[in-house]
Amino acid sequence: MLQASSFWNAPTNPASDFDERVDATGKVRAHWAMMSSELESLGTPLLHTRSRAVNQFIRDNGVTFQPAEPGHQSSQGQMNRPWRLSVIPFLFEQNEWQVLREGLIERTRLLETVLNDLLGPQRLIRERIIPGQLLWSDPTYHRAYHELDPGAQKLHVSATDLARDIDGQWKVIGDRTRAPSGLGYLLENRVVTSRVMPTLIRRTNTHRLASFFETLNDHLRLQAKSKRENPRIALLTPPSGSYREFEDTYLARYLGLLLAQGSDLAVRGGELHMKTLGGLKPIQVLWRHISDRHCDPLELNPQSVEGVTGLLRCVRRQSVAVVNTVGSVLAQAPALMAYLGKASEFFFGKSLSLPSAETYWCGDANDLSFVLQRLDEFVFRDAYMVTNNRPIVTDELDAASRDAFLAKLKSTPELYVAQRRLQFSRTPLWSGESIESRKVALRCFQLTTPSGINILPGALARAGKDELDLSRSLVSGGMTLDCWITSNRPVDQHKTLLKDSKATISIRRGGADLPSRVAEHLFWLGRYAERAESAARLLRTTLLRISGEDNWETLSDVRRLVYALASGGQIEPSYAVDSFSVNLPTVEQILPASVLDRAQARGLCRTMDSILHNAASVRDRLSIDAYRIIQRAARDLNRPVILEATGQPGQVTINEAIDRTGRLIVDLLALAGLTSESVVRTHVWQFIELGRRIERAENICDLTTTMLCPATDSGKSICEAALEVSDCLMTYRSRYINLVQLAPVIDLLITDETNPRSLQFQIDRIASLMDKLPTTEGPTGSDAILRLVSSLQFRVTTADPTKLATIAKDGRLEHLQHLLEEVADDLPKLFNQINARYLIHTESTQQLTGTER
Amino acid sequence: MNSSSRSNRQSQIAPSPTEMPAAAPLPNPAAPNNTLPPAQGAGQPAIQNQTQSSVTGGPPNSGTAVPPNAPPAKPPSHVTYQISHQTEYNYSEPVAVCQNQLRMQPVTGGNLECQDTKVTIDPDPNSWDEHRDYFGNLVTTFSIESIHTALRVVVKSRVTVAAPSISESDASTQWEEALDHGQGPLCPTVAEHRYHSPRILPSETFAAYARPSFTPGRRILEGALDLTRRIHQDFAYDVTATTVDTTTEEAFQLKAGVCQDFAHVEIACLRSIGLAARYVSGYLRTTPPPGKERLIGADESHAWVELYAGEKLGWLGLDPTNACMVSTDHIPICIGRDYGDVSPMRGVVLGGGTNTLKVSVDVEPQPIR
């Protein structure tokens, strides 16, 4: 037993702490018995292994969060941090859960009733149950919330934050009625823990989550007021880079919803639409995850960029159903918690069985003076906003800050609530090294449907050092736990989280529903992936030549390769000028380091950042495997260099650089292969492919010009280098053995329409892709694009490789250079036209006020 | 066209939602029930003509002496007006889409009856909706979804404004009676106007300014009129002093501004001592009655104040720009907490470059038929 207690490493003081695992006498609680012995039999080393598996799953699935705290805005790609999940779940016993469940149902019904009243007859205010000033002082309250959808259900998906008091009673520390976050993370937590602990989760008879999500899906569908058999449902997420990005992408994909940002949507003819490549497509249901007051710049906050102009009008016309109703934020005001008990008495004639933590709204003069006499028993929070700030605890403040706070409290008391400090219970947590006992809080989720209130049988559990730590936002980086509702009876084993729909759906192909913004990200994803591959090839070829030869300084092929690297922006452009010989001694040093050089905008690292950024923005359109490859490639490339001898960080050696570029090429080829083999030929594929082909065509022009022009005596090694960089060397040798001449090289690189690495092949591909793009009206006519593509195609097709290889007396390849210059001029024009026609979708808006002042 | 808009504003506000006629616009969900003091319409019982003639002066800033010498000719019991409000935007670049909301149409209620109101929009809107907002104002929402370089909105209305009267016994109400004493049922549509709103933040500064007018036990009519007159005296009417975004505090510091600022300051003063006060936008008659000066604010939208003066008196109209009670020269259009709730037009346009705006308002009294 000594071993076990040191294993649990949990110094719990029963007088001041409620321990979830053991009771006050130190005896393991019944529902914890199986888990306790299981964990003990695993022991520290195996728990370590399991915990590593958890982290691995989270990394592979790309489960990240953007820290919600301000001051974390660094460059893109570095803000995401991996989600943190303890390998040990939080356990909830079935009977106790049943009591909590009833309390949650009752509370959700009350909040719906209160919200309907505040946005309707306001009996609570008339009868002075709630001070009217509480509502009228709420900065999130807009009068426009009132006349929107009278009689309609207001709350659909809501959440409740809970913590256990010292007496073992669960208390509500916060309501979330706007657009609660955490549902996606909760789902992912369950997916991961059930893979790491598959047997245990079955043996503990843990309740399944799948049917909650199925009901949610059905419920959203049923909100549609037209097209009810197959409505378009969009999940409105804040602009890229928000703390909701991962979760909304995850939920949209899991539930099969369209993921939309405000700029993807438009109101036309009094109806909400998605802007797609195929034109405007009506949306019947909008699950909004943005602030109420940002929903419509016309009627609410005019500065908002998250919402859609005219959305409220659509709601009033009932052309779209918005979930939760615009205005639902009012029900989550912490100030309201002080009056929910009285509201329950008023409406239902009984008190709340699941009470709030004791809360006082300081806008009430009597309550304020009560609180002022007992400052240290309370924490102070914003009365209206749910913020990420740590609550104010007066005895933590120094004298000056305390005085400043009290002055603010007295001058604007209506902006604060005082909440009695709860103890919070403790639960075992795997810290990474050992089991520790941490304070815990739960977020439970509710779905209200016409047939009743569904409580998700689980929760997102969060652990922290103290209760103040836990009153911060979900995405502040703390450890989370999956919450298992265990039972001593078997639960329904048939429902799994894997999707399975009973409904028969009609067969569909294509998918013109691609939002223009998404097309833009896909296009750039293709472009950057190609750019990275081409840069990695060029670097590897150069590095191989430097490492293989002692006298590489004298080789003209290396000179040309370095020139190409400088011209392509991989290294300082000064390496492309004629002071080359001066710089030569340093090439050997700078080249390996350039692999990790973030200073070059077109360098490998920055290009990989761009791939990640674009991939993250369209995650719901990429397969999990594709996303994994991209993540792994970026991680591998950026791995810190550790010297084997010393174990200390060091510089990249030539061999290390060859190794890293080689692995990157393989990863990028895997991505290209996956794109080619697993992506349906919809607009998604077309835009990735278009980006890739335009980029490759530009790279061929650039490489051929810098490597081959002008011709030199040592043509053979240069030609071979060019072929190697273009991945054509093997093809060339199989055709011509060891004879290297300019004309066949140029044929293979430029005019051979059967070579996927030739210019001709790229142009042909672009032409056939353009044929398949939608032909709805746009600012640039499709005719102009097609003309440009035909003229490109004509020029390359009619070029004669022998003529292109003609060398003038001064060594110039006039015909080749002329052709490449023309093509290199036209490709950006083509890009601009595609951009204008399909990709640019944000135009500036301005406000009218109708007055001259 | 707007037959639905002609229903009585008071009847829109007073009945409980279930009593609403089916064809009427969305009921005001915050409507007080019938047991509560009637939230009367924007046009309000004004005091007898003697009071008015004694305070109606000439343009406050005309510099030269403008004696308040108008003979107390008995004003007509009611006046019918033809109103035309034209708003025209011209854009330097084409506009692809515009979405707009108008709050420019009168609704029947209080002492105003709307005979007809019609909106004409050029180019033709693609879609068009009407609804009543929280305060009972008639709101028109429209969108134009084809390329255009100019937008013209003309609102023509015909209304009759009745001169309200106040009985001597009602007028004896003391101002303290209009405060919230914390007992009995509370009427949200009155009480909400006691507190701050986005543009009006009550404070001790405003309360200190208001107190000399509201001495203990003073009749609310006297106090209100005194405050109205003092603001008129202490503040300069100056269109260059403020902009549409000037805060009430700034205008109070400057002691200058236009009708919007005057109204905001008076509301701030009234709310700061616990009274309920709201903002009214509307028009003034363009041509003065014979023998009277033209009032400031004619030819454009005007704004004034309504003070809740207790159950018997209801809402009193006060015009601090012209130092008078509101009567048949004032035509109320919209009510709200402050300017932000009643701005006549708001819109979001896509494209458009820079724009130029022309607004003209014409308010003509009609011969009595």
Task: Determine the Cα–Cα distance for residues A604 and A609; give it in Å rounded to an integer.
Answer: 9
- Is A493 part of the contact surface with chain B (CB cutoff 8 Å)? no
pLDDT (0 to 100) of residue B15: 32
Verify whether the Cβ–Cβ distance B186 to A853 is below 8 Å.
no
Q: What average pLDDT does the segment B205-224 reach? A: 96
- Is A318 part of the contact surface with chain B (CB cutoff 8 Å)? no
Verify whether the Cβ–Cβ distance A848 to B301 is below 8 Å.
no
Mutation site, B12, B92, B97, B99, interface A, largest A CB count within 10 A: B99
Given a contact cutoff of 8 angstroms between Cβ atoms, the answer to whether A299 and B156 are in contact is: no
Verify whether the Cβ–Cβ distance A298 to B143 is below 8 Å.
no
Verify whether the Cβ–Cβ distance B345 to A128 is below 8 Å.
no
| Angle, in degrees to the nearest 10, between helices A759-772 and A814-834 | 20
Calculate the alpha carbon distances from A11 to A14, A63, A422, A468, B22 in Å: 9, 32, 20, 20, 68
pLDDT (0 to 100) of residue A853: 61
Which residues in B lie closer than 8 A to residue A314 (C-beta atoms)?
Answer: none
Q: Tell the residue number behind the tokens 């989720």, with chain if given.
A: A445
Which residues in B lie closer than 8 A to residue A141 (C-beta atoms)?
Answer: none
User: Other CB atoms closer than 10 Å to residue A29's CB: what's the count?
Assistant: 14
Q: Is the dihedral of CA B282, B287, B290, B292 positive or negative?
A: positive
- Is B195 part of the contact surface with chain A (CB cutoff 8 Å)? yes
- Is A140 part of the contact surface with chain B (CB cutoff 8 Å)? no
Return the H-helix or E-strand segment holding A463: strand A460-464
Which residues in A lie closer than 8 A to residue B346 (C-beta atoms)?
Answer: 298, 302, 847-850
In chain B, the number of structural domains is 1
Verify whether the Cβ–Cβ distance A122 to B30 is below 8 Å.
yes
Provide the residue type at B182 as one letter.
G
Q: Minimal Cα–Cα distance from A149 to chain B, Å? A: 9
Verify whether the Cβ–Cβ distance A267 to B99 is below 8 Å.
yes
Verify whether the Cβ–Cβ distance B96 to A147 is below 8 Å.
no
pLDDT (0 to 100) of residue B70: 42
Residues 146-175 of A with CB under 8 A from B: 146-147, 150
DSSP conformation letters of A468-498? TGGGS-TTSS-EEEEEEEE-SS----S--SS
Farthest-apart Cα atoms in chain B, separation: 62
Calculate the alpha carbon distances from A458 to A38, A96, A210, A485, A604 in Å: 21, 13, 11, 6, 44
Task: Determine the Cα–Cα distance for residues A333 and A175; give it in Å rounded to an integer.
Answer: 8
Mutation site, B18, B90, B127, interface A, largest A CB count within 10 A: B127
Of residues B349, B252, B263, B362, the one with CA closest to residue B306: B263
Q: Minimal Cα–Cα distance from B198 to chain A, Å? A: 9
Q: Tell the residue number behind the tokens 């069985």, with chain if given.
A: A353
H-type alpha helices, A318-398:
334-337, 340-348, 365-372
Q: Minimal Cα–Cα distance from A266 to chain B, Å? A: 10
Q: Tell the residue number behind the tokens 């009056």, with chain if given.
A: A339
Q: Minimal Cα–Cα distance from B106 to chain A, Å? A: 17
Residues 140-179 of B with CB under 8 A from A: 141, 143, 145, 153
This prediction's pTM: 0.80
Farthest-apart Cα atoms in chain A, separation: 102
Q: Minimal Cα–Cα distance from A845 to chain B, Å? A: 4
Q: Is the dihedral of CA A225, A226, A230, A233 positive or negative?
A: negative
pLDDT (0 to 100) of residue B271: 97
Return the H-helix or E-strand segment holding A823: helix A814-834
- Is B28 part of the contact surface with chain A (CB cutoff 8 Å)? yes
Task: Determine the Cα–Cα distance for residues A95 and A30; give it in Å rounded to an integer.
Answer: 12
- Is A682 part of the contact surface with chain B (CB cutoff 8 Å)? no
Residue of B nearest to A137 (CA): B196
Given a contact cutoff of 8 angstroms between Cβ atoms, the answer to whether A752 and A800 are in contact is: no
Task: Determine the Cα–Cα distance for residues A223 and B266; give it in Å rounded to an integer.
Answer: 47
Q: Give the list of residues 6+ apart from residue A400 with CB closer than 8 angstroms, or none.
A: none
Q: Which domain holds residue B182?
A: 42-77+167-342
Residue B3 located in a structural domain = no
- Is A502 part of the contact surface with chain B (CB cutoff 8 Å)? no
- Alpha carbon B147 to its chain centroid, in Å, reads 35
Given a contact cutoff of 8 angstroms between Cβ atoms, the answer to whether A89 and A204 are in contact is: no
Q: Extract the runs of DSSP E, i.e. beta strands, from B20-147.
A: 78-105, 112-122, 127-132, 138-144
- Is B203 part of the contact surface with chain A (CB cutoff 8 Å)? no
Given a contact cutoff of 8 angstroms between Cβ atoms, the answer to whether A565 and A571 are in contact is: yes
- Alpha carbon A652 to its chain centroid, in Å, reads 31
Residue B270 located in a structural domain = yes
Verify whether the Cβ–Cβ distance B185 to A126 is below 8 Å.
yes
Residue B139 located in a structural domain = no
Task: Determine the Cα–Cα distance for residues A585 and A588; give it in Å rounded to an integer.
Answer: 7
Q: Which of B129, B239, B350 sits opposite A313 (nearest CB)?
A: B129
Mutation site, A315, A316, A366, A846, interface B, largest B CB count within 10 A: A846
- Is B99 part of the contact surface with chain A (CB cutoff 8 Å)? yes
Task: Determine the Cα–Cα distance for residues A696 and A533; give it in Å rounded to an integer.
Answer: 10
Verify whether the Cβ–Cβ distance B29 to A150 is below 8 Å.
yes
- Positions in chain A whose pLDDT score sits under 50: 1-3, 69-78, 499-501, 503, 778-780
The number of residues in chain A equals 853
| Angle, in degrees to the nearest 10, between helices A715-725 and A556-567 | 40
User: Other CB atoms closer than 10 Å to residue A674's CB: what's the count?
Assistant: 16
Residue B93 located in a structural domain = no
Verify whether the Cβ–Cβ distance B348 to A298 is below 8 Å.
yes
Q: Minimal Cα–Cα distance from A286 to chain B, Å? A: 20
Verify whether the Cβ–Cβ distance B89 to A848 is below 8 Å.
yes
Which class for A397: exposed (0-12), middle (13-18), buried (19 or more C-beta within 10 A)? middle
Residue of A nearest to B353 (CA): A846
Q: Which of B16, B301, B347 sits opposite A847 (nearest CB)?
A: B347
| ipTM metric | 0.81
pLDDT (0 to 100) of residue A291: 94
3 state SS of A847: strand
CATH of the domain at B174: 3.10.620.30
Return the H-helix or E-strand segment holding B223: helix B220-234
Which residues in A lie closer than 8 A to residue B192 (C-beta atoms)?
Answer: 132, 136
- Is A270 part of the contact surface with chain B (CB cutoff 8 Å)? yes
3 state SS of B308: strand
3 state SS of B332: strand
pLDDT at B289 over 80: no
pLDDT (0 to 100) of residue A508: 54
| Token couple for B68 | 């308040």
Q: Give the list of residues 6+ apart from residue B21 with CB closer than 8 angstroms, or none.
A: B7
- Is A199 part of the contact surface with chain B (CB cutoff 8 Å)? no
Annotated domain spans of chain A: 359-421, 516-679, 680-847
Q: Extract the runs of DSSP E, i.e. beta strands, from chain B.
A: 78-105, 112-122, 127-132, 138-144, 148-162, 236-237, 256-257, 277-284, 302-308, 315-319, 324-325, 330-336, 345-351, 355-365
pLDDT at B4 over 70: no
Q: A482 has which bridge partners?
A: A460
pLDDT (0 to 100) of residue A58: 87
pLDDT (0 to 100) of residue B58: 33
Residue of B nearest to A120 (CA): B29
Q: Tell the residue number behind the tokens 């049917």, with chain if given.
A: A211
* Domain covering A359-421: architecture: 2-Layer Sandwich (3.30)
Q: Which of A132, A297, A844 sits opposite B186 (nearest CB)?
A: A132
Angular region, A431: left φ>0, alpha ψ -120 to 50, beta rest: alpha
Q: A483 has which bridge partners?
A: A90
Q: Give the list of residues 6+ apart from residue A384 with CB closer than 8 angstroms, or none.
A: A137, A138, A139, A140, A333, A334, A335, A415
